[in-house]
């Protein structure tokens, strides 16, 4: 019946105003009292009987993080740069470039909720920054080049509002959102401040598409990049929002990912390379013409919290899993084992020499 059709018709907010003119997005939000600042994307749908705006709002974490007093936090980490403090190389270069790779820091994670963990390991601001200091010391002690690449492979923070990026998975945490943000930014600045005087060239790559930190991690890395642009304009900082990314150093291509993304992948890349993983990586390399431009290809991932370096499963690329810097969560301890945590130092020359040194803490 006509009455039933009217009842079942989809309800939309008309883009016509009271005078019969089409409203723009600002007028539309004001008219219907919608939060314009939280609108991430919008599209005018005009092919229907009643035109309306199809609006996508920001995630809760994204909109709430924007309310942080970022200016005050950023100013705290910016100090005047001395003009005469110019870097002078302190070593004779043995190799073309060094790399420091760390992942899965999980800042804010409570490793011993309710004092029930099998292997109680303290993970708070002090122990997190102590791990940062250890990375600085070992990187300098093993320096073989004046060029350094720092790769951070995701899950830098444990979550937002005690949730993963996909929600529905409660996480035991020992920091508020603000404390986690501040500690994470302090970690990043502490690392770059400690290493900058020892290298003439530094490039920092941060994975911002993962299953724990998500948008929260991006905002930390965005603040870090903004500070570095002022304090260290010669340092290159790249924040990657795609699931898989790549960059070149000489004739070597590094393909970097967390291993899981922020929304769709339930299992992601496995710690042991399988045919499905080979096919997915191979398609990416072909799509981006990597085979044509690289003599060596190194695929780098985190997520698995394991140090596994596969140079044999395929002749086309190395498949490297990097250890987590953080201790194992109680869930991992109970379901698997205590595990080992750390980071990895590497050094490259002429696409032939590849020195690899895992450091376990």
Instruction: Give how far the C-alpha of residue 255 lies from the chain's centroid of Cα atoms, to the nearest Å.
Output: 14
pLDDT higher than 80, residue 265: no
Exposed/middle/buried for residue 295 (C-beta within 10 Å: 0-12, 13-18, 19+): exposed
Work out whether strand 147-152 and strand 308-310 pair parallel, antiparallel, or are unpaired.
Answer: unpaired
For residues 262 and 168, the model is more confident at 262
299-336 confidence digits (pLDDT tens): 999 999 999 999 999 999 999 999 999 997 655 555 55
User: How much is the pTM?
Assistant: 0.76
Tens-digit pLDDT profile for residues 101-152: 999 999 988 876 656 555 567 889 999 999 999 999 999 999 999 999 999 9
Q: Which of 229-243, 317-331, 337-351 has the highest mean pLDDT?
A: 229-243
Helix axes 177-195, 70-77, angle to 10 degrees: 30
Task: Dihedral sign for Cα 130, 136, 140, 142, please.
Answer: positive
Task: Give the model's pLDDT for residue 89.
Answer: 58
Q: Which spans in the chain are helix H?
A: 2-8, 25-32, 60-65, 70-77, 125-141, 177-195, 214-231, 275-287, 290-293, 330-335
Mean pLDDT throughout 259-284?
A: 86
CA-CA distance, 169 to 163, in Å (whole number)?
A: 6
Beta-carbon neighbour count of residue 125 at 10 Å? 18
Average pLDDT over residues 75-87: 55
The Cα 162–Cα 165 span in angstroms is 10
């Amino acid at each position: 019946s006509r009455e039933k059709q009217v009842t079942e018709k989809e309800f939309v907010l008309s883009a016509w105003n009271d005078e019969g003119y089409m409203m723009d997005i600002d007028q539309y939000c004001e008219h219907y009292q919608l939060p314009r600042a939280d609108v991430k994307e919008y599209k005018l749908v005009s092919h229907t009987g009643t035109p309306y705006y199809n609006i996508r709002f920001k995630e809760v974490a994204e909109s709430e993080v924007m309310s942080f007093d970022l200016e005050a936090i950023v100013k705290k980490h910016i100090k005047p740069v001395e003009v005469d403090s110019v870097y002078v190389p302190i070593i004779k270069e043995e190799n073309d470039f060094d790399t420091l790779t760390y992942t899965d820091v999980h800042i804010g994670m409570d490793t011993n909720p309710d004092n029930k963990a099998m292997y109680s390991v303290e993970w708070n601001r002090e122990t997190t920054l102590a791990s940062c200091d250890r990375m600085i010391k070992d990187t300098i002690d093993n320096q073989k080049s004046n060029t350094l690449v720092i790769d951070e492979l995701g899950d830098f923070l444990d979550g937002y509002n005690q949730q993963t990026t996909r929600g529905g998975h409660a996480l035991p945490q020992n920091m508020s959102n603000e404390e986690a943000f501040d500690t994470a930014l302090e970690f990043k600045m502490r690392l770059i401040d400690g290493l900058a005087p020892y290298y003439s060239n530094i490039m920092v790559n941060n994975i911002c598409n993962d299953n724990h930190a998500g948008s929260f991690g991006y905002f930390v890395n965005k603040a870090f990049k903004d500070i570095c642009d002022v304090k260290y304009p010669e340092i290159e900082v790249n924040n990657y929002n795609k699931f898989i990314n790549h960059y070149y150093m000489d004739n070597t291509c590094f393909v970097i990912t967390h291993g899981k993304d922020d929304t769709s992948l339930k299992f992601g890349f496995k710690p042991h390379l399988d045919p499905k993983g080979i096919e997915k990586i191979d398609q990416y390399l072909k799509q981006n013409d990597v085979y044509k431009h690289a003599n060596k290809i190194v695929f780098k991932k985190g997520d698995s919290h394991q140090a596994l370096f596969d140079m044999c499963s395929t002749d086309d690329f190395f498949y490297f899993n990097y250890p987590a810097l953080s201790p194992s969560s109680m869930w991992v301890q109970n379901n698997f084992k205590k595990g080992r945590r750390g980071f990895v130092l590497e050094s490259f020359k002429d696409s032939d020499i590849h020195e690899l040194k895992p450091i376990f803490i």
